[in-house]
Amino acid sequence: MRWHRLAAIVRKEILQIRRDLPSLLITVAMPLLLMLGFGYGVSFDIRHIPVYVYDRESSQQSQDFLKRFQASEYFNVMKTVDNYQAVIQALDAGACRLAIVIPVNFSEQLKTGGPVSVQALIDATDNNTANVSISYSEAVVQTYNQQIQLEWLQRHGQARLQPPLKVDARTWFNEDLESTANIVPGVVAIIMAVIGSFLTSLTIAREWERGTMEQLVSTPVTPLELMVGKLVPYFVIGLLDTALCAGMAIWWFEVPFRGQWSVFFLSCTLFLIVVLSLGYFVSVVAKSQLAASQAALIATFLPAFLLSGFIYPIDQMPAVIQVTTHLIPARYFMTIIRDVFLKGTSLPLLLDDLLALALFAVLLTILATRAFQKKLS
Amino acid sequence: MLGRLRGMLIKEFIQVFRDKRSRFLLFGPPVIQMLVFGYAATLEIRHIPTAVLDFDNSQVSRDLLSRFTASPYFDVRARLNDRRQIGELIDRGDVTVALQIHAGFAQDLRKGRTARLQVIVDSSVSNTALIAVGYVNQIAGRFSQDYQRERLFSTSPLVQSQLPSIVLDRRPWFNTDFDSQWFFVPGVIGNLILVMVVSLTAFAVVREREIGTLEQIMVTPIGRLEFILGKTVPFFLIGLLDTTLISLVGTLWFGVPLRGSIGVLAIGAILFILCMLGIGLFISTISMTQQQAMVSGFFFNMPAITFSGFATPISSMPEFMQWLTYLNPLRYFLDVLRGVYLKGVGLDVLWPQMTAMGVLGLVMLTISVARFHKSLD
Amino acid sequence: MTDNDAPPVIVRDLVKRFGDFVAVDRINLEARRGEIVGFLGPNGAGKSTTIRMLCGLLRPTAGQALVAGYDVAREPERVRQRIGYMSQKFSLYNDLRVIENIRFFASLYEVPDSVLKERVSWILDMAGLSGRKSTLTGTLPSGWKQRLALGCAVLHRPPILFLDEPTSGVDPISRRQFWELIHTMAAEGVTVLVTTHYMDEAEYCNRLVLIFQGRIVASGSPTELKQRAMTGELVLVECAPLGLALDLLRQTPDVADAAVFGNALHVVVPEARTMIPRLRTHLSQHGVIVARMEPIRPSLEDVFVSLTAAQGAGGKA
């Protein structure tokens, strides 16, 4: 490796990036967009579930019960209807996700005692939201039950009854169960995958398409020098973007950062090397810019989005896919970055994941330079 | 006029289908993505890795814990005897939930005091944590009720039989087994069509501009509309073909039921593809290079997918964003896809979505066509 | 509207501005039927911009251009029916076969089926591609590509042909063949407007238009230009050292201009016969060894250099 040649390539690359104002803007705008988009758009804090109610009794008590739904921030009682048809229509059209139907003799039955069944019609199309809304409805019903049972027992002289079991839940690392705290650090990983692979694969494929690459190759530059030289500026941009995202995560989305910055930057560096060499590899193999961008998308962005545990938990996937995720570098980085942000995990516990990333970095660098040499011969 | 259009179409089709690689790019990635998404995209939470720590070790405490062992949602992996182990396991990410029963648990219950079930949840993955807490509460609630009933029954059976309570009668519709593939597969169809059609269209024009052939075409007497039609009709057809292909994968491979009419689905797909053609063309009018087209495409695709209700419900997004989703064609197409697939509804329910897509498509196409000039400045 | 005697191309006070930059500054021009008009000038002089305006690819900022009797700004579509255009960038589809490219452009120009077959074989013949019509265009050598592109540009037999540096990157033999084609077409009555910066190519034109900084600085036949531009006679001087000789000559009164041309100097003097002995002694006295010194006929390159130099100096003054 000759430093002056390397420096020349780096300088050229920086000049080109600097002149290419749109690309430069993108390196700033893309992280911002992704950060805001995912930060606000991907929320598992399921709230305001649209609810219809069909109160066939319409008594003091039924109203009282329904008020519990109204009061909950998880539900948004949109409408009270007076026939089944309207309920069915609303579910069909997606106007509500949940419909509560109170039976005709609701208060009567409660008075005489025994269980009264209240129907919860759930649009289970979205199974996750459906599950959550069941959980919340059960919680509403249980609280109400406790209250009326207590009253009833008091009236019958059994006043000392208390709820036998209380769940005392402690949520560690993300006390308020806010999904931004969970999603936002993950977005940092996604952005790095995108910037790294997407931009590099395109800029290098462009150089092939325009024929300037042949010019470069005809000089005494070695493949490794060329690769490193081309990637250094993007590496710097990637790191700046990472810092930008981390800043946004901490100050804008108020995600706690509990780990060490050194661990954070070490893992970021490794992951950037991985995605940059992957992007480089793709651009060497792909024939055109279109093919390069498609391939980069499939090789980096999608796995980082789908198979890294960013949104979809890995342990819920079929076994084959779970095994496959071990081949996805983003998987390891996702674990590291979340642990560093929320758990404040220190280096020793993350060693396995860091080693995996390092291994990928070495492998991909070798693979990319090999592919480059093969393409030339 | 028809002769020129025919010439354009023949040329486009030859170019698109010439070599194996480009043929593969049209149909391979959508199918692969469909398969990966179908398996990986699940928000179902089952088999949550759980540790238990029972300091009481009584009949009752074992009864309570056995309810967790029997539940499909929890997977009891470790039985501990030291409180410190919990921290270790959670830090390492080996378990997500730890249940702890204090000594004297049975005694508390017997004496009518409220006993506590301590739950520690790793909430760095907030959705899993949220759902886990929900399940714990449900199991604990059930346990409470059963325990209370039994106690009352042994002391005063009459009172027990008259104790009022409300039972939630859950009736999930459309996706009765809460199968997340049923939820995601129709959504993925929408996503893939969006990405494919937008990027293909945008690239088709910009590539010609970059290579210089666009200039050559502009000096021929070809009409603006002929050119645009020649460029878009192939992608329209490819979009429809892709829709059919991945719908087949969804139905035949993943077994997602198609309950509604194929005709309604086709109308929705056609309207949606028209919208995407409009977007793709628009991007091609603002991009000079393929790289710019790629990036502009990304800037459209990401928010469009995030804010469509694809993974998380629109009703949980910030209100401002909720308003913006009305401009998002994917939002409507997802309604159509899920409506036709899972709910089996027809035009009588989906006409607002169809109208919205029609209007959006018309507006987008008009703007793009108006912006497209047969000149270089 | 189309008058047979009217010149096919009429340009009046044509202006094109990009922001503050004036690319084309009040150009006036007429081209007759069957005439080959060459646009000569350095890169960025405004040649391509002018041609692009005439094709309707760029909108003129001011002035008027009539091509085949139609205003390019107002009726670009009518103009496009009647012109052929070929640009410096090779602009056929590399991923289409030869015959597919021809068919495609034929359909855009709506060449009737009845004549298509004959035109196709004409192009293949002319481009030397007979028997290679199923070759992928991208794999052809550049000379072949260029002739194929020309063929596609004239598929509809346009009366006017615009060529924007058509032979850049093509070998000399192919260039010659290319120009023979152009001449044949001109002889058949096609008006050709061509930009180039190859001086030898300029000699092929009936008329040359020298463009510099967006303006026409001279125009006329190659011979006319050579006579008009040179106020004086041209002397070739082969000597060493070149630099010293150049300085000496430039200081000599009566020497109008001196410039390096290859490994020799070109010197402009009022009268060669009397000046040559004087210059020879002058140089020898200062230690310059003169190998050769003789009057020569000016080439277009000399004309070009002297005219643009005069213009440049005039611009600064």
The string of DSSP codes covering C115-169 is: HHHHHHHHHHHHTT-TT-TTSBGGGS-HHHHHHHHHHHHTTT--SEEEEESTTTT
CB neighbourhood size of A277 (10 A): 26
Region C255-280: what's the mean pLDDT? 84
B272 in a structural domain: yes
**A358: Cα separation from own chain's centroid:** 24
**Nearest of B100, B60, B105 to residue B79 by alpha carbon:** B100
What is the token pair recorded at B145? 């009720």
% of chain B beyond a pLDDT of 70: 99
Q: Would strands B74-80 and B97-101 be described as parallel, antiparallel, or unpaired?
A: unpaired
Q: Where residue C242 falls among pLDDT bands split at 50, 70, 90?
A: confident
Predicted local distance difference test score (pLDDT) of residue B134: 87
Region C70-79: what's the mean pLDDT? 89
Q: Which residues of A touch B93 (CB under 8 A)?
A: 335, 339
Between CA B46 and CA A67 the distance in angstroms is 32
Region B176-182: what's the mean pLDDT? 82
Comparing CB atoms, the residue among B14, B218, B222 nearest residue C57 is: B218
Contacts for C46 with CB less than 8 Å, ≥ 6 apart = C16, C23, C24, C25, C27, C211, C213, C214, C215
Above 60 in pLDDT, residue C3?
no
Claim to verify: residue B188 and residue B311 sit in the same structural domain: yes
**Nearest of A36, A171, A222, C228 to residue B121 by alpha carbon:** A171
CB neighbourhood size of C266 (10 A): 21
Predicted local distance difference test score (pLDDT) of residue C4: 60
Between CA C197 and CA C194 the distance in angstroms is 10
B170 in a structural domain: no
Q: Kindly tell me the burial class for residue A42, based on how many C-beta atoms sit within 10 Å of its own C-beta (0-12, 13-18, 19 or more).
A: buried
In contact, B259 and B344? CB cutoff 8 Å: yes
Predicted local distance difference test score (pLDDT) of residue C91: 78
Claim to verify: residue B274 and residue B227 sit in the same structural domain: yes
Domain boundary among B133, B162, B191: B162
Q: What are the strands of the beta sheet with C289-296, ordered from one edge?
A: C257-261, C264-269, C233-240, C289-296
What is the token pair recorded at A261? 């910055």
Claim to verify: residue B219 and residue B316 sit in the same structural domain: yes
Between CA B325 and CA C142 the distance in angstroms is 52
Q: Does B7 touch chain C (CB under 8 A)?
A: yes
% of chain A beyond a pLDDT of 70: 95
% of chain B beyond a pLDDT of 90: 33
Claim to verify: residue B147 and residue B200 sit in the same structural domain: no
Comparing CB atoms, the residue among B166, B182, B294 nearest residue A144 is: B166
Containing structural domain, residue B64: 48-162
For A240-244, A261-265, B122-126, C70-74, which range has the lowest pLDDT when averaged over its residues? B122-126
Residues 96-155 of C with CB under 8 A from B: 96, 100, 103-110
For A39-48, B51-60, B342-351, which range has the lowest pLDDT when averaged over its residues? A39-48
In degrees and rounded to multiples of 5, residue B101 shows phi and psi of -115, 125
Predicted local distance difference test score (pLDDT) of residue C1: 43
Above 70 in pLDDT, residue B1?
no
Residue of chain B whose alpha carbon sits nearest to that of C79:
B221
Between CA B72 and CA B75 the distance in angstroms is 7
DSSP single-letter state for residue A255: -
What is chain B's percent helix, strand, coil content, to nearest 5? 70, 10, 20
Predicted local distance difference test score (pLDDT) of residue C315: 42
DSSP single-letter state for residue A315: G
Instruction: Mark yes or no for CB contact B15/C103 under 8 Å.
Output: no
The b/e string for B67-100 (b: 16+ C-beta within 10 A; e otherwise) is ebeebebbbbeeebeeeeebeebbbebebbbbbb
Region B290-308: what's the mean pLDDT? 85
Instruction: Mark yes or no for CB contact C105/B213 under 8 Å.
Output: no
Number of domains composing chain B: 2
Q: Would strands C70-71 and C62-67 be described as parallel, antiparallel, or unpaired?
A: antiparallel
Contacts for A14 with CB less than 8 Å, ≥ 6 apart = A233
More confident residue, A315 or A365: A365
In contact, C35 and C9? CB cutoff 8 Å: no
% of chain A beyond a pLDDT of 90: 21
Instruction: Mark yes or no for CB contact B212/C87 under 8 Å.
Output: yes
What is the token pair recorded at B260? 């509604």
Predicted local distance difference test score (pLDDT) of residue A225: 81
What is the token pair recorded at B44? 């179902």
Residues 89-128 of B with CB under 8 A from C: none
Q: What is the DSSP string of B178-219?
A: --HHHHHHHHHHHHHHHHHHHHHHHHHHHHHHHHTHHHHHHT
Q: Does A125 touch chain B (CB under 8 A)?
A: yes
**C298: Cα separation from own chain's centroid:** 18
Q: What is the mean pLDDT of chain A?
A: 84
End-to-end C-alpha distance for chain C, whole angstroms: 46
CB neighbourhood size of A57 (10 A): 17
| Residue for token pair 């034929």 | C106
**A198: Cα separation from own chain's centroid:** 19
CB neighbourhood size of B161 (10 A): 12
B150 in a structural domain: yes
Q: Does B373 touch chain C (CB under 8 A)?
A: no
Between CA C38 and CA B218 the distance in angstroms is 23
B311 in a structural domain: yes
Above 80 in pLDDT, residue A90?
yes
Query: Omega into C241 within 30° of 0, i.e. cis?
Result: yes
Predicted local distance difference test score (pLDDT) of residue C313: 54
**Nearest of A282, A299, A276 to residue A208 by alpha carbon:** A282
Q: Would strands A114-123 and B164-173 be described as parallel, antiparallel, or unpaired?
A: parallel
Domain boundary among B162, B195, B216: B162
Q: Where residue B320 falls among pLDDT bands split at 50, 70, 90?
A: confident
Above 50 in pLDDT, residue A7?
yes
Domain boundary among B114, B135, B162: B162
Q: Which residues of B touch A167 (CB under 8 A)?
A: 116-117, 119, 136-137, 140
Beta bridge partners of B75: B49
Instruction: Mark yes or no for CB contact C59/B377 under 8 Å.
Output: yes
Between CA A45 and CA A43 the distance in angstroms is 5
In contact, B322 and B236? CB cutoff 8 Å: no
Instruction: Mark yes or no for CB contact C109/B14 under 8 Å.
Output: no
Claim to verify: residue B137 and residue B228 sit in the same structural domain: no
For B314-328, C206-220, C250-264, which range has the lowest pLDDT when averaged over its residues? C250-264
Between CA C103 and CA C124 the distance in angstroms is 12
B225 in a structural domain: yes
Claim to verify: residue B356 and residue B289 sit in the same structural domain: yes
Determine the 3-state secondary structure of A242 from DSSP: helix
In degrees and rounded to multiples of 5, residue B221 shows phi and psi of -75, 10
Region C95-124: what's the mean pLDDT? 89
Number of A/B CB contacts below 8 angstroms equals: 358
Q: Which residues of C touch B13 (CB under 8 A)?
A: none
Between CA A55 and CA A52 the distance in angstroms is 10
Q: What is the mean pLDDT of chain C?
A: 85
Predicted local distance difference test score (pLDDT) of residue A377: 67
Above 90 in pLDDT, residue B272?
yes
B172 in a structural domain: no
Length of chain B: 377
Q: Would you state the torsion angle of the CA atoms of residues A175, A179, A185, A191, taken in this order, to the nearest 10 degrees? A: 180
CB neighbourhood size of A158 (10 A): 16
Interface chains of chain C (3 or more CB pairs under 8 Å): B
For A218-222, A257-261, B312-316, which range has the lowest pLDDT when averaged over its residues? A218-222
Between CA C186 and CA A17 the distance in angstroms is 47
Predicted local distance difference test score (pLDDT) of residue A77: 92
Q: How far is C60 from chain B (nearest CA, A)?
A: 10
More confident residue, A322 or B374: A322
Residue ranges of domains in chain C, CATH in brackets = 9-222 (3.40.50.300), 231-297 (3.30.70.100)
Claim to verify: residue B147 and residue B74 sit in the same structural domain: yes
* Cα separations in angstroms, B68 against B46, B51, B65, B177, B236: 12, 10, 5, 21, 52
Residue ranges of domains in chain A, CATH in brackets = 3-42+178-376 (no CATH), 49-155 (3.40.1710.10)
For A5-9, A196-200, C191-195, C209-213, which range has the lowest pLDDT when averaged over its residues? A196-200
Claim to verify: residue B35 and residue B53 sit in the same structural domain: no
Q: H-helix or E-strand containing C38?
A: strand C36-40
**Which amino acid, B182?**
W
Predicted local distance difference test score (pLDDT) of residue C312: 62
Q: What is the DSSP string of A9-78?
A: HHHHHHHHHHH-HHHHHHHHHHHHHHHHHHHHH-------EEEEEEESS--HHHHHHHHHHHH-TTEEEE
B26 in a structural domain: yes
**pLDDT tens track for A109-160:** 888 877 889 999 998 888 888 888 888 898 899 888 888 888 888 887 765 5
Predicted local distance difference test score (pLDDT) of residue C316: 37
Predicted local distance difference test score (pLDDT) of residue B240: 92
Contacts for C231 with CB less than 8 Å, ≥ 6 apart = C256, C268
What is chain C's percent helix, strand, coil content, to nearest 5? 40, 30, 35
Claim to verify: residue B146 and residue B212 sit in the same structural domain: no
Claim to verify: residue B323 and residue B279 sit in the same structural domain: yes
Claim to verify: residue B213 and residue B314 sit in the same structural domain: yes
Q: Which residues of B touch C91 (CB under 8 A)?
A: 211-213, 215-216
Claim to verify: residue B329 and residue B200 sit in the same structural domain: yes
Q: What are the strands of the beta sheet with C21-31, ordered from one edge?
A: C21-31, C9-18, C62-67, C70-71
The H-assigned helical ranges of chain A are 3-19, 21-41, 60-71, 84-93, 106-112, 127-155, 179-193, 200-210, 212-217, 223-247, 261-285, 289-296, 302-306, 319-324, 329-338, 347-376
Region A186-207: what's the mean pLDDT? 78
Interface chains of chain A (3 or more CB pairs under 8 Å): B
The pTM (predicted TM-score) of the whole model is 0.82
Measure the CA angle with vertex B305, ends A264 and A321; round to 5°.
Answer: 60
Between CA A95 and CA A121 the distance in angstroms is 13
Q: Where residue C317 falls among pLDDT bands split at 50, 70, 90?
A: very low
The CATH number given to whatever domain includes residue B101 is 3.40.1710.10
